Structure 1
């Protein structure tokens, strides 16, 4: 089999020929990382995690954070060695060859673009809740949420009774796309402001809720157990697989490596620094939610555990709401809802406002990451090179950004936030798994290459990272597990019909063989 490996030296040379402007420093990268990490995961998915694990979601945050930490150490070594755009795609190309690199790049669409769509849906819930509190206006449910999706065996079932299309999610996706077309530097400046808004809102939430913690709210700690049933996605580990989404933005920092000053120093700082800061915030916020108002999951009338994205779950939440009781697991704006239950109505509105203002920074970073990966794939010839054109005035891959933004808007319009997050996680976990393997292979095949940052105890850390990613992947709901191989199969068709023929590496190999003859 022809693996078509593109060496790190060739990758660095290609980047120099058609490169992006280096303008980002360590502080900006850390802010970009925090901007990408803190978002829908903590503002919105806290409710879904509570439905899956109850108070046990505290353990879920620890499990997901640990897997991300060991993956971050692997990322840091590779990014410092090859400070170019492309994330896991680039590293796989250098170590395991073009075919596997293509599958990783294709899977990263599920990470970034689908994740951006999930955040758009999360933003929609907060902004519509804020508008309702401020003005009393309620956008009809059919226009403010997409349909519910479930599985009947291996066949998807779509329920339009609670929603048809999420119009606010479409709007925010297109606005952020326009901002990214305008320019990276401007986007980074806006992002730094939005990060400050998010951190302030979460700090206020922590200060209010932690003194009100009631130990009784943590009992039972594990209402759905550790593992739940196979393929259900519930239990502590199932919640960890979903809440993993709350951490994955850190690797968006690596996609900005080619636009970073002194990347060997600044990228590892941005990666590990942003992850550490966000982990502290997550644990404190989760403790505040559970301890102050409780976070026990709701069940069907027969006592069955309900998926937070199912039509039956939505119906059950409406029944409880009509009876005068709205559990926090039913909320589309969990943190603001907690403060409302504690009678901090004004602060609740401010947190809702902060989320509505700041969540777009996460969308910005996710679309930013996706376009940079596609940019590198097009630069390698695996996608049409026209897509990699840099705008003469704004110096951004404008056409790629527009295509990605449209994809994000469509996904946000028709899928619920929890399922989008789980699908995104499937692609992310696959990419992280490949990065962990790549670190080990490079230690063997290229041991003398300069490594400005070396993964500590690599023969322990990298296998733990790879194993952790596999463990969480198989803890996702069945539908999310199935999306990755189906999506990958579509990608393989495109690769063999188009990408393999147009690959620059493939053309170079063919030219060398022709010269020998």
Structure 2
């Protein structure tokens, strides 16, 4: 049978004790890690993507996405407090639903973390180019995006050459060099060490919160209520379909909180600190998101851009890039949905250019913390899968000096840099969301199965009303997944098919559980200095 390999929870905990990472993080650091992972590209960059899909109705989108993440966080908290080891949803699924589904979750998490890191790197690149341009340093478009490359590819596959698409080919670029640079820097930082990374992250989180607070203070007093709904500017110009579509994209702005659970194995007193980090970071970020989105909408409006026929253009497409270029060339004020630096653009329009420059600078300084947390999560998932024999053992190597999984970190860095070099931020975010939603769905399933299968196991944190919360999480994940663009919906099964091939051709025969190699507490190979009662 293919669903017969379940790794016992006691064995998972024993493996962590035998081959584990150093515990150095507390509740404050975890909460800062969570905020660092959550507040980032989603609010600094994807605000314009959400506005193009839903207009002012993106406020409802933020609430929907936040609610789905909230119920998922409650499920995560129970499992993370019971199984405080690396691996996140992969580990939980292995312990409850078996190896095959665990592999599929771990494979899907590549979309969440590695592709998500690429998306944030592209967002950071946009701010760097904007700050350099404001300082009079012009960077050729060929090195800042791949709009022209994507437009040429679209034409090669039969897309008609419209005026908007031609404009994208004329003014777009071919590779995003700055995105590659930031991924390389974060890779180096993660190789150095977890504690050092967390200290840097705490500083960057403070910078981001200060920037968003300044934005809120300057935009809320000047908001125009007509931007939230009027005959000329409807609140939901694309209807509920657009609101759900925006929620599916905005979901990316929240999901970083689950990276906290991947740090459980490196956390002091994880039974207490992991739930605090998960729920605390999500609550703080939700408040900021709603206030920032309200300020942006109220200050300059958030109506989507249409093509010549009056149809709403899809975010991240060469056609939208070309249309926006034409609008700007005509001398009109750049719409919010066209800006690659949404918050900076809003402050500039409301005559606060200096503060806008500072907010842009804050994004340049702080967004690397999100790249850091995304890649941190990815390397820990890969590390755990390699430790279980499902990936080459070399990936589980721990650096002799820094005590970090350096090999898998470098491999992840190369993959993330490649994706960031050629794909736009919106499409990367949607692809990332498809994997994340699958992982969240499986966590909700695992919580319910484990409640039935092992009701007496100690649960330092229990999901309240689990038979309501977990099903709500599952329904929310399915709803948001079906609201993604078609290409993003198809990415998950396509990526999953590749994962299944690798599993059956390589991983299944090398699995430690399948070969009967399961660590136990009294394993004589366990190092005495790290062994302790479970």
Taking the TM superposition and a 5 Å limit, the aligned residue runs for 1:445-464 are: 445-464=453-472
Shift in Å at residue 149 of structure 1?
A: 5.0
Alignment partner for residue 406 of structure 1, among 404, 414, 419? 414
2:238 equivalent among 219, 224, 249: 224
Contact 1:149 1:309 in 2 (8 A): no
Q: Assess if the C-alpha contact under 8 Å between 1:58 and 1:286 holds in 2.
A: yes
Q: What is the match of residue 138 of structure 1?
A: 138
1:98-154 CA-to-partner distances (Å, cap 9, x unmatched) read: 0000000000000000000000000000111011101x12211121002475898xx
Query: Whole-Å Cα distance in 2 between the matches of residues 58 and 351 of structure 1?
Result: 22
Match of 1:242 in 2: 249
Shift of 1:163: 2.1
Q: Where does residue 359 of structure 1 map in the other structure?
A: 367
Confirm or deny: 8 A CA contact 1:74 1:435 kept in the other structure: yes
> 2:357 maps to which residue?
349
Superposed, which structure 2 residues align to 1:186-197 within 5 Å? 186-197=196-207
Conservation of the 8 A alpha-carbon contact between 1:149 and 1:157: no
Residue 391 (structure 2) aligned to one of 376, 383, 397: 383
Aligned to 2:508: 500
Whether 1:178 and 2:188 are equivalent positions in the alignment is yes
Indicate yes or no: 2:325 matched with 1:324.
Answer: no
Q: What does 1:370-449 correspond to in 2, within 5 Å?
A: 370-449=378-457
After TM superposition, the structure 1 stretch with the greater mean CA deviation from structure 2, 214-223 or 102-111, is: 214-223
Query: Could you tell me whether the CA contact under 8 Å between 1:31 and 1:274 is conserved in 2?
Result: yes
1:232 maps to which residue?
A: none
CA displacement at 1:156 relative to structure 2: 9.7
Distance 1:274 1:502 in 2: 38
Specify the alignment match of 1:56 in structure 2.
Answer: 57
Q: Secondary structure at the match of 2:24?
A: coil
1:436 and 1:223 map into 2 onto residues whose CA distance is: 34
**1:169 — aligned with what?**
179
Where does residue 321 of structure 2 map in the other structure?
Answer: 314
After superposition, give the CA deviation of every residue in 1:247-301 in whole Å (9 maximum; x if it has no partner).
0000000000000000000000000000000000000000000001111111001
Which structure 2 residues correspond to residues 75-114 of structure 1 after superposition, within 5 A?
Answer: 75-114=76-115
SS at structure 2 position matched to 1:506: coil
Aligned to 1:273: 280
Corresponding residue of 1:198: 208
- 2:532 alignment counterpart: none
Secondary structure at 1:505's aligned position in 2? coil
Moved segments of 4+, more than 3 Å: 147-152, 155-160
Instruction: State whether structure 2 residue 222 is matched by structure 1 residue 212.
Output: yes
Q: Distance in 1 between matches of 2:8 and 2:431?
A: 31
Contact 1:60 1:237 in 2 (8 A): yes
Residues 1:354 and 1:156: Cα distance change in structure 2 (over 3 Å): farther
Task: Give the Cα–Cα distance (whole angstroms) in 2 for the partners of residues 353 and 305 of structure 1.
Answer: 32
CA–CA distance in structure 2, aligned partners of residues 410 and 296 of structure 1: 33
2:299 alignment partner in structure 1: 292
Structure 1 distance, partners of 2:367, 2:158, is 30
Q: Indicate the residue corresponding to 1:514 in structure 2.
A: none
Cα offset for 1:509?
Answer: 7.7
Length-normalised TM-score, structure 2 = 0.92
CA distance in 1, matches of 2:359, 2:212: 8
Q: Secondary structure at the match of 1:297?
A: coil
Q: Using the TM superposition, give the Cα deviation of residue 440 of structure 1 relative to its aligned residue in structure 2, in angstroms.
A: 0.4
Secondary structure of the structure 2 residue equivalent to 1:465: helix
Q: TM-score with structure 1 length normalisation?
A: 0.95
Q: How large is the RMSD of aligned CA atoms in angstroms?
A: 1.6
Shift of 1:324: 1.5
Are the structure 2 counterparts of residues 423 and 377 from structure 1 closer, same or farther at C-alpha, using a change threshold of 3 Å? same
Uncovered stretches (5+) of structure 1, i.e. residues with no partner: 228-234, 511-517
- Rounded Cα–Cα distance in structure 2 between residues aligned with 1:364 and 1:39: 11
- CA shift for structure 1 position 35: 0.1
| Structure 2: runs of 5+ lacking an equivalent | 519-534
SS in 1 for 2:240: coil
1:513 is matched with none
CA distance in 1, matches of 2:38, 2:79: 20
